[in-house]
Amino acid sequence: MTAPAEPILEVRDLVKHFPLNYGVVFKRQVGAIKAVDGVSFDLRKGETLGVVGESGCGKSTLAKLLMALERPTSGSVRINGRDITTARGAELKRMRRNIQMVMQDPYTSLNPRMTVGDIVGEPFEIHSDVAPKGGRRQRVQELLEVVGLNPDHINRYPHQFSGGQRQRIGIARGLALQPEIIICDEPVSALDVSIQAQVMNLLERLQNEFNLAYIFIAHDLSVVRHISDRIAVMYLGKIVELGNDAEIYDSPTHPYTQALLSAVPVPDPEGRETRQRIILQGDPPSPANPPSGCHFRTRCWKAQDICAEQEPALEARPGSAHPSACHFAEARDVVNAE
Amino acid sequence: MKNPSVDTHLLPADRAGDEPLLAVDNLHVEFQTRQGVVRAVNGVSYSVNAGETLAVLGESGSGKSVTAQAIMGILDMPPARIPKGEVRFHGTDLLTMRDEDRGQIRGRRIAMIFQDALSALNPVFTVGWQIGEMFRVHQGMSKRDARRKAVELMDRVRIPGAKSRVDDFPHQFSGGMRQRIMIAMAIALDPEILIADEPTTALDVTVQAQIMGLLAELQQESDMGLILITHDLGVVADVADKIAVMYGGRIVEHASVFDGYRAPAHPYTKGLLESIPRVDLKGQELYAIKGMPPNLLDMPTGCAFHPRCPYRKENCVTDVPPLYTVSDTRGSACHYWREVLDDGSR
Ligand SMILES: Nc1ncnc2c1ncn2[C@@H]1O[C@H](COP(=O)(O)OP(=O)(O)O)[C@@H](O)[C@H]1O
Ligand SMILES: Nc1ncnc2c1ncn2[C@@H]1O[C@H](COP(=O)(O)OP(=O)(O)O)[C@@H](O)[C@H]1O
Ligand code: SF4
Ligand code: SF4
Ligand SMILES: [Mg+2]
Ligand SMILES: [Mg+2]
């Protein structure tokens, strides 16, 4: 674990509701998709916070809110103490420099008509003060070198690179403005196992070298465990459990975390007959109409009356030393949580 | 320098015993492209029996899907061509069979499901109509009976409220439910073999667990042979009886799942297993196979894995390794398989 450092990112009660409209000609709002519904956490310098949860639970929306690519319905995102959600103009531009993103799909996230040099150097066009025009080409070549690409390939186009190399291009671009925070939204999900390991190692090396803080969103729980200091488990727009890797993986206290971990197949056939598995039924409910009380109650095997009436807060409880949003939080040994 | 094409013959276990239910034997598939001939499948052999699960593993581009498409007869020829090889079902080669006979087998007795259920389903027809089509077309069933059968099948793949959802369209279902619909269509005619090509790759782990559980139950009910194509080493460890690992269009290792995971006999398999993040190695660098998958238009000489291989010796650059017999149930296409095997897994 990293030594406690000051928080670089403070997220408080963050909410994003997308209006749900009805009617083709006369649109009226009939409800809202509660994509992010009250999320709070801190991220410290040089730390990695993993974010896991089923698709549709709000991970990418959260990422966009942190980047100020979406405006929140309410709540705040402070970077080094300044709220990016209320920043405008030159101040917003300056703050954005400090928080960059690496996206999942290395095939569609790079403009096919631009050379690698233009792609990696594009942030300098917007923030021309970072690298003077004359020194840009050299700076881009340095960045390519840092991520393990051949600097001589600066004039090539994205299609001339493999998936793993394209992801490196995306990372080089993310590093261009020397940010303190990088948000990785499923950065290795589209890559083959062997290439995935190369990119993960690169991300870790860069973190050490530049003291970067990462928000690492992924659906592969073993990958998240490997890279994260702490992990936030999301369900229907909320964080339901938050802890360090041992707390989340070895003694999860929220039933959803327990189910999620037990669904992950263990890459070892030995003893597979005796493995216990919690199989959740059905799909998560729609974020347009989440259940009352605890959002997870419609799939929870421990649900009681109180779960429909009262929303459980994300906090430490008698059964859980780390924050867990379950009235009946209690550690349970999940055999599969390797 | 071109590599000589390598013939790999039937797995020893099959030669000794009865003919397996389905056997791919020394299959070659190539594509005519503008850049030249792409040899996507280069002498692949594998087999599967009733009730058995064979997992086909390997990086993208290694030829897993093309092999499956050749079995199903759904390759576009041209540009594809099958210069060599057999696909035997109950001992009879499908590739040389009369079209009418083949039509009785493919899609009926051998069925397939794909990764992308949404694009495999027709958006303008109801799911009930599409499942029912199997019965109307193949069995001349009336519309009404076919619809009734569709509801039965939707129940069988555990789609909640099948009766009320049979007239819904594909987009009204979640990804997991659509995959169930694909499975319903595939098992409609009680196939003996089901080929599942990355059936859960696009799904969440929770839904993946549901789908894999469903496939296992269906397999048990009807003693189907299952060919599971995947790159998820966890899923393989969970369900496979035996594994076939592909690299650059060849099987580089085949083994029982227990043997293969305990002590791989090919450096590529070993590398794959070692790149899985492990709890006890947190904070350390992940093991990563260096380099990139081979370019099929410009295959390395000798062993196709040699540019990435930590066990490489001089002759690897020139001599194509045959599929060596490691034991009566396993084989490895590595000159130095003994050394690899002795090192054990991780
Ligand atoms: N621009 C948008 N307009 C309306 N709904 C949206 C928009 N973006 C995301 N959503 C909805 O918000 C929910 C969360 O989506 P997302 O953040 O992409 O989830 P994740 O990344 O966890 O899969 C989903 O129900 C999604 O359909
Ligand atoms: N129609 C085609 N024309 C040319 N090349 C093809 C065609 N279909 C597949 N290939 C090539 O064959 C190789 C094997 O593909 P495939 O079997 O789909 O790999 P995977 O192991 O990922 O399933 C790939 O390099 C692919 O580009
Ligand atoms: S609060 Fe109730 S419904 Fe929610 S997770 Fe806990 S036990 Fe289950
Ligand atoms: S034959 Fe040589 S290069 Fe190929 S896998 Fe074996 S040791 Fe490595
Ligand atoms: Mg997302
Ligand atoms: Mg494929």
Contacts (Cβ under 8 Å, ≥6 apart) of B104: none
Atom number of ligand 1 nearest to Cα A20: 4
| Cβ-based neighbours of A123, under 8 Å, separated by 6 or more | A130, A173, A176, A177
A63 vs A186, residue with greater confidence: A63
Q: Is A307 on the interface with B (CB under 8 A)?
A: no
Chains A and B form CB pairs within 8 A to the count of 110
Short-list B135, B83, B127, CA closest to B107: B135
Predicted pLDDT at A166: 85
Instruction: List pLDDT tens digits, range B42-98.
Output: 999 999 999 999 999 998 889 999 999 999 988 888 899 999 999 999 999 999 888
Q: CA of A149: which chain B residue's CA is closest?
A: B291
* Closest residue by Cα to residue B275 from A268, A204, A225, A194: A194
pLDDT band per the 50, 70, 90 thresholds, residue A150:
confident
Mean pLDDT across the stretch A113-120? 90
Of A195, A223, A263, the CB nearest to B277: A223
Shortest CA distance from B238: residue in chain A: A269
- Name the residue among B261, B256, B197, B204 with its Cα closest to residue B229: B197
Interface of B with A in 266-305 (CB under 8 A): 271-273, 275-279, 282, 285-290, 292-293
> Which chain B residues are within 8 Å of A281, Cβ to Cβ?
210
Q: Sketch out chain B's domains with CATH numbers.
A: 12-109+193-343 (3.40.50.300), 121-188 (no CATH)
Conformational region of residue A68, where left means phi above 0, alpha means psi within -120 to 50, and beta covers everything else = left
Which atom from ligand 2 is nearest to the alpha carbon of B38? 5
Cα of B237 to nearest chain A Cα, Å: 4
Q: Residues with Cβ < 8 Å from B5, sequence gap 6 or more?
A: B28, B39, B42, B43, B84
Cis peptide before A252, with omega less than 30 degrees from 0?
no
- Mean pLDDT for the stretch of residues A124-134: 80
pLDDT score, position B6: 46
- Give the alpha-carbon dihedral of B117, B120, B123, B129, to 10 degrees: -100
A49-58, A282-291, B45-54: lowest mean pLDDT where?
A282-291
Whether omega before B293 lies within 30 degrees of 0, making that bond cis, reads no
SS3 A316: strand
Give A338's pLDDT tier (boundaries 50, 70, 90): very low
Contact: A269, B261; criterion CB under 8 Å: yes
Using the atom order of ligand 4, give the atom closest to the CA of residue B266: 5
B324 in reach of chain A (CB within 8 A): no
Whose C-alpha lies nearest to ligand 4, atom 3? B306
Query: Which residues of chain B make contact with A263, given a CB cutoff of 8 A?
Result: 205-206, 208-209
pLDDT of residue B246: 96
Q: What is the DSSP string of A104-168?
A: S-TTTSS-TTS-HHHHHHHHHHHSTTTS-GGGHHHHHHHHHHHTT--GGGGG--GGGS-HHHHHH
3-state secondary structure of A170: helix
Reported as a single tens digit per residue, the pLDDT across B196-216 is 999 888 788 888 888 898 899
pLDDT at A225 > cutoff 90: yes
H/E element, B151: helix B143-156
Q: Which of B204, B237, B258 sits opposite A54 (nearest CB)?
A: B204
Ligand 5 centroid from CA B80, angstroms:
36
Residue A207, phi then psi, degrees to nearest 5: -60, -45
Q: What is the 3-state secondary structure (H, E, C) of B276-307?
A: CCCHHHCCCCCCCCCCCCCCHHHCCCCCCCHH
Q: Which residues of A touch B62 (CB under 8 A)?
A: none
- Give the three-state DSSP class for B226: strand
Determine the residue of chain A that is closest to B158 in CA distance. Answer: A282
- Residue-wise pLDDT for B252-297, tens only, equals 999 999 999 999 999 999 999 998 887 777 778 888 888 888 888 8
User: To the nearest whole angstrom, how far is the Cα of B106 from the nearest Cα of chain A?
Assistant: 31
Q: Are strands A82-83 and A74-79 parallel, antiparallel or unpaired?
A: antiparallel
A318 burial class (0-12, 13-18, 19+ CB within 10 angstroms)?
Answer: exposed
Out of A226, A279, A280, the one facing B277 most closely (by C-beta) is A226
- Domain borders along chain A are 249-338
Please tell me which of the candidates B175, B213, B235 has its beta carbon nearest to residue A279. B213
**A14, A16, A18: residue to mutate for ligand 1 pocket, most atoms within 8 A of CB:** A18
Q: Using the 8-state DSSP alphabet, how is residue B63 labeled?
A: S
Report the gap between the CA of A295 and the closest CA in chain B (Å). Answer: 17
Helix axes A116-126, A163-175, angle to 10 degrees: 20
Average pLDDT score over residue span B34-40: 89
How far is B100 from chain A, CA to nearest CA, in Å?
A: 40
Residue B17's pLDDT is what?
56
Nearest Cα of chain B lies from the Cα of A246 at a distance, in angstroms, of: 10
Residue A167's pLDDT is: 83
Spacing, Cα B64 to ligand 2 middle (Å):
8
pLDDT over 60 at A91, yes or no: yes
